[in-house]
Chain A
Amino acid sequence: MQTKILIPFSSFTNKQLKCICLLMFTIIFSSCTEEINVDVDSGETRLSVEAAVTSDLTKHHVILKETSDVFFNQDAIPVHSAKITVTDGKTTYNYQETKPGYYESEEAFAGQPGNTYSLSITNVDVNKDGTLEEYLASSTMKSNYVIDSIKMHFDPDYESYDEDVDKGPFWLVSLYMKDDIKTEDYYGFACRINDVMVHDTITEILVQKDTYFNGETSKGVDVGEFNQEKTDEILKDNDIITLETYAISEEYYDFVSQLQELDEGQNMFSGPPGNITSNISNGAIGFFAVYSITRTTIVHRDK
């Protein structure tokens, strides 16, 4: 029979204990990341699409770029001269390139809930094989959500959804609404201060599904954050706060969640990284998002 002895800490002197603790501390907390040079193969160039149709009456836009290798350190290359149309089955909207790689609908239109919108991108040869490619996507607009009210409250020691931000003073937007029990709902949230979009990148949008509150009243859940240590998010008395609530599809919820997860970076417990899902055909990356927007405003009071 073979047994290992566990030596109780009481049998060590203080000096020995300090040495052991110091050794363990050094092993456990010593830096374990390091920058390295890696040779990676070039990948096939693919089309990157950023496209949305919302319930706003506006000229909607599509941005087309080429994907690049991992260590390419320039601006993404825009894709020119594409033919882009969006149709709801009855009306077809044509898009024009107004800036390099930026296409705008010729006329303003508002997406209607219940309609399915189909995006078509043609006349592009992104992989440079001499054959023109066609990219298609479609998505149905959901009805917008009914918001009862929003409230503001201050937390001097708030832990943000954004893991890059430390605890700090935040103004928070609390939401009061009732989720529909009959439908599976997916929410997106972003805020404006005096009509200037604060959460203006996809990584700042909060997305949520109703799994844990299906059919329930939200009772003031925090859905908007204003970090009072960020210059563009500092609130003043009488600022007009607008909460935008997006009725998004399950596919778009997955896309944004996966993108945000990848943006947060990997840690020891992450699974292997994978490609983010897309609803665009022919191997393109990106998403054609179709959603309706509900706006709720409140006047901010500092006290």
Chain B
Amino acid sequence: MPDNHRLDLALTLKGKKKPGRNWEGEWNFSLYNAYGRKNPWYISFKQDDDNPKVMKAEKTYLFTFVPSITYNFKF
């Protein structure tokens, strides 16, 4: 199997406490697999459509990069 590695990044922005408000919130921005590496989920072997004697290896990967935004609040 080829090497499996990835980089995940996340940034959390906390809101300032405001007087009179009994809850606080924060934004979270994250990026899964930041450099978009195509890590194999599995590898399968297939015959070539034109020449069935020739075998090919094919990897299936799930995601490259996946961004997400979350807002959390506590009270």
Residues of B within 8 A of A229 (CB): none
In this assembly, does B6 line the interface, its C-beta being within 8 Å of a C-beta of chain A? no
The answer on a CB contact under 8 Å between A34 and B59 is yes
Contact with A along B34-45 (1 / 0, CB 8 A): 000010111111
**For the complex, what is the distance from the CA of A27 to the CA of B61, rounded to whole Å?**
12
Task: From known contacts A2-B72, A5-B73, infer whether A33 and B53 are also in contact, taking CB-CB under 8 Å.
Answer: no
Contact with B along A67-98 (1 / 0, CB 8 A): 00011011100000000000000000000000
Please pick, from B43, B61, B75, the residue contacting A1 in the complex, using a CB distance under 8 A: B75
Contact with B along A11-37 (1 / 0, CB 8 A): 000000000000100010010111111
Please pick, from A4, A35, A75, A268, the residue contacting B72 in the complex, using a CB distance under 8 A: A4
Give the number of residues in B that approach A within 8 Å (Cβ atoms).
30
The answer on a CB contact under 8 Å between A36 and B57 is yes
Residues of B within 8 A of A34 (CB): 38, 58-59, 61
**For the complex, what is the distance from the CA of A265 to the CA of B58, rounded to whole Å?**
11
Please pick, from A3, A30, A71, A266, the residue contacting B42 in the complex, using a CB distance under 8 A: A266
In this assembly, does B70 line the interface, its C-beta being within 8 Å of a C-beta of chain A? yes
The answer on a CB contact under 8 Å between A74 and B53 is yes
The answer on a CB contact under 8 Å between A5 and B2 is no
Q: How far is the CB of B65 from chain A (nearest CB, A)?
A: 9
The answer on a CB contact under 8 Å between B55 and A70 is yes
Binding site for A on B (CB under 8 A): 2, 38, 40-46, 51, 53-64, 66-67, 70-75
A35-B56, A35-B58 known; 12 new pairs, CB 8 Å cut-off, are: A32-B61, A32-B62, A33-B59, A33-B60, A34-B58, A36-B40, A36-B43, A73-B51, A73-B55, A266-B42, A268-B41, A268-B60
The 4 closest A-B pairs by CB, nearest first: A38-B57, A266-B44, A73-B54, A73-B53
